[in-house]
Structure 1
Amino acid sequence: MNYMLLIATLLLNLLVSSCASITKPQQDKAINQVSEVPINYSLFPNIENEQLISEDVFFLTPAQQKEFLIAVDQHIANGLAPHKALSEVLAERLANFTYYGETYDATTAISLNKGNCMSLAILTTAYAKLLGLDFSYRKVSTLPVFTKKDDVILSSSHVQTIVYDPTFIKDKSILYLSSPAVVIDYFPSKNHRSGRKFSLETFLAMYYKNIAADALADKNLNKSFLYANKAYQLDTENIETINLLAVIHRRSGDLQTAEAIYKTGMDKGQINIALLSNYIMLLKSQQRMGEVNTLQEKLNQLDDPDPYQWLGEAYTAKSIGNMKQAEIYFKKALEKAPYLNQAYMGLYKIYVQQNKLRKAQTMLVKALEWTYELDERKLYKYKLYNIKHHIAANH
């Protein structure tokens, strides 16, 4: 899945998603300006000879190509169009696929038989390119998966690949909203909200951003910068990548450039909770509390329609012990999505910790209203029984 990194100074909450060679640009100063965002290349002297080649991401070994083409030919011989044959081959492979939260290139995803939805999209792209089929990508809104690595929280969003019917011929007298295609996805759901379609270049930027996020979580700043900078070169308007570059600079000890990057991102005019939150964390580390209070008030007043943005912020605030802000963010998530039982459970845990048992009980009841999985319902009912018992015992 695409990591959209909501990266904080002490705790990174990455909500995440290109290619050609990357070399260090010529410069006269340590701090250089590349498409508005200031970059301090002197912090990363070991990357100038590193190369990132786009086709490496989609490379398949001759044996992998042969195996796929034989399977596709069998389906085509049975009457399927090439794009549907590709879909069938993937469906057969995914029957034993492990949906593990790592981003892999095509060769690795096949070899390990696992990977996140970004890995699936990369594998799909590799197959589509091998068959000469047209394709595009689409974001969908669904519940992110949160994973904690030391002081980094990785939060993944979801991406689908659309592979188009090569046999379709448009009638010039008809206006088409879209061309016939198959959508490749791990777990298509009626609860998904489809977002915008985007290009291969944007997809590659998302891939590099994912790798950069993983490297940051592993404290490999050189590798993280290499991939984040490449992602930025491919998509200079992506606020998440700008946010990531700022965090990499801060962790490398250059707070001045990190702050300049945060300000550049804010000047883009896009609402971005993560960037603002992370900038606040930087200011807190410098005890600039007047600016912190101003920006925190601005953040609390933001009206981002995506409930998962607020859910991610709530988890981050809770992880660093800021229960007041966590409560605010969980409530903001519920304003946007009253069905979000994860937010109710987040509030339940806060209220239990604060010994506000009646409030905790209310949150459990609400969570039950929006929970349909049998095991989860049993767990919540057990918790509800216990909390009722404790309330009764104290009165």
Structure 2
Amino acid sequence: MTILAKLTTRLAAVLAPLLLGACAAVPLPAPLAANHLFSDAAFKPPSEPVGAADLFTLSPAMRAYLNSPAFTSQVRQKGAQQGLVSALYQKGELKLEYESSKTRTAAETYDARVGNCLSLVVMTAAFARELGVPVTYQNVMVDYTWSRTGNLYFGSSHVNLVLTENSPAFMRAYQNVLPTLTIDFLRPKDSDEFHTHPLEERDIVAMYQNNRAAEALAQDRVDDAYWWAREAVRQNPNFITAYNTLAVIYQRRGDNALAERVFRAALEREPENLVVMHNLVPVLAAMGKTGESNQIKARLAVIEPHPPFYYFNRGMAAMEKGDFQEARNLFAKEVKRAPYYHEFHFWLGIAHWRLGDGRSAHQELKLALDTSTTNAASQRYSAKLSQLKGGAAKRKRLY
């Protein structure tokens, strides 16, 4: 998860602050010494264990499931690779659901029966490893999907995993290419056409730790966020997203000098990282480095004139002014470029309702419900739909 946080900010990113997750494709400079990046004394000890030692650990319940008649029957009929997929995700007994509010370990995901994209990847990989099925992780090279929590903006990248058929050694000697099966949660449209970049397991571990940092920050648990981000940097010094998250945390704590140092360390590795550049702008301005801040801002305006939430924020300003037609047009632009983000549909529906178009309002609120990724959002949109259907919207505001 990357963070793009606006201090006025899954896999993930933060912008001013923006949080992002990505892998560099070029050789990177040696990581800075830890004492140049970390400030342990400035933060309280974490309120929870911080680490990933049990990320892929199977619980007793998971092992029991592997030995259950239903699961062993699937594996016996279809082989370990296809049997695993059939048992877990093709109307299997688990009935797993997508839920983005928390990144979980394999055991936590199995126990809760819900998880975000990364959690489901981790749980599937844990089962596959236990069955001896080789696993490869991939970063799918698609644009970040942006969302927000309060004044934090989160950019999520997309990862999937590939299961390779575990053929006997004597068969592998005669096979040039082993059969593979790609497991992709929330598969992007036309994703077969996108390039992929292989990830190591330490990348997945760092993504998990970075997500936990971003989630803690969204809950205003800044001390916990620091320790998770610190561990992500320590785990994988080349994971730029974690640098960005760590710097955003320093910015939240009011240590702009240290935030600048970490942002610059990230830019040494990825000079064109737009999220880091966005986040560095207000830090430099707060430190009185107005000239350099304006230079970066001007450069960003050329590279990315309409950043994430650009039309949405303008639409919200139009709503406050009572210009609902302009708001509707602006929200529609955000929906067009991010059709699976629930909040854009919700506010487009509200704009339609304020303009007297109840039918379009209902359609957009239904889309908001369909694309919501947390239980809290789903409950909110269900309630609004009930208001609209029951005629309550005629008597009171929907928001």
TM-score normalised according to structure 1 size = 0.70
C-alpha change, 1:86 and 1:212, in structure 2 (3 Å) is same
1:242 alignment counterpart: 243
1:5 and 2:3 correspond: yes
Q: Give, in whole Å, the separation in 1 of the partners of 2:216 and 2:333.
A: 39
User: Is residue 8–residue 274 contact of structure 1 (8 Å, CA) maintained in 2?
Assistant: no
User: Is residue 206–residue 239 contact of structure 2 (8 Å, CA) maintained in 1?
Assistant: no
1:314 alignment counterpart: 308
Q: Give, in whole Å, the separation in 1 of the partners of 2:146 and 2:203.
A: 22
Tell me how far 1:189 sits from its aligned partner: 4.3
User: Is residue 16–residue 209 contact of structure 1 (8 Å, CA) maintained in 2?
Assistant: no
Worse-matched range after superposition: 198-207 or 355-364: 355-364
Tell me how far 1:212 sits from its aligned partner: 0.9
User: Is residue 325–residue 355 contact of structure 2 (8 Å, CA) maintained in 1?
Assistant: no
User: Is residue 103–residue 116 contact of structure 1 (8 Å, CA) maintained in 2?
Assistant: yes
C-alpha change, 1:248 and 1:211, in structure 2 (3 Å) is same
1:13-24 matched pairs, under 5 angstroms: 13=15, 14-16=18-20
Tell me how far 1:116 sits from its aligned partner: 0.5
2:137 alignment counterpart: 137
Q: Give, in whole Å, the separation in 2 of the partners of 1:386 and 1:253.
A: 43
1:87 alignment counterpart: 85
What's the secondary structure of 2:37's corresponding residue? strand
The amino acid that maps onto 1:292 is S
1:1-395 matched pairs, under 5 angstroms: 3-11=1-9, 12-13=14-15, 14-16=18-20, 33-34=32-33, 38-44=37-43, 46=45, 52-54=51-53, 56-70=54-68, 71-78=70-77, 80-91=78-89, 92-93=91-92, 96-101=95-100, 102-140=102-140, 141=142, 144=145, 146-148=147-149, 150-167=150-167, 169-170=171-172, 174=176, 176=177, 179-192=178-191, 193-302=194-303, 313-315=307-309, 326=310, 383=352, 386=355
**Cα-to-partner distance string for 1:69-116 (whole Å, 9 max, x where unaligned):** 3243111222x1211111111113487323111211111111111110
Structure 2's unaligned 5+ residue stretches are 22-30, 358-399
**Cα-to-partner distance string for 1:318-338 (whole Å, 9 max, x where unaligned):** xxxxxxxx3xxx5xxxxxxxx
C-alpha change, 1:163 and 1:229, in structure 2 (3 Å) is same
The amino acid that maps onto 1:63 is A
User: Is residue 16–residue 206 contact of structure 1 (8 Å, CA) maintained in 2?
Assistant: no
C-alpha change, 1:58 and 1:277, in structure 2 (3 Å) is same
Alignment RMSD: 3.9
The amino acid that maps onto 2:121 is A
**Cα-to-partner distance string for 1:348-382 (whole Å, 9 max, x where unaligned):** 66667778899778768878989999xx7xx78x9
1:338 alignment counterpart: none
User: Is residue 75–residue 84 contact of structure 2 (8 Å, CA) maintained in 1?
Assistant: no
1:24 alignment counterpart: none
Q: Give, in whole Å, the separation in 1 of the partners of 2:285 and 2:109.
A: 41
C-alpha change, 1:198 and 1:37, in structure 2 (3 Å) is farther
Tell me how far 1:39 sits from its aligned partner: 2.2
Q: Give, in whole Å, the separation in 2 of the partners of 1:76 and 1:210.
A: 33
Tell me how far 1:255 sits from its aligned partner: 1.9
Q: Give, in whole Å, the separation in 1 of the partners of 2:226 and 2:129.
A: 29
Structure 1's unaligned 5+ residue stretches are 18-31, 304-309, 316-325, 331-344, 389-395
1:340 alignment counterpart: none
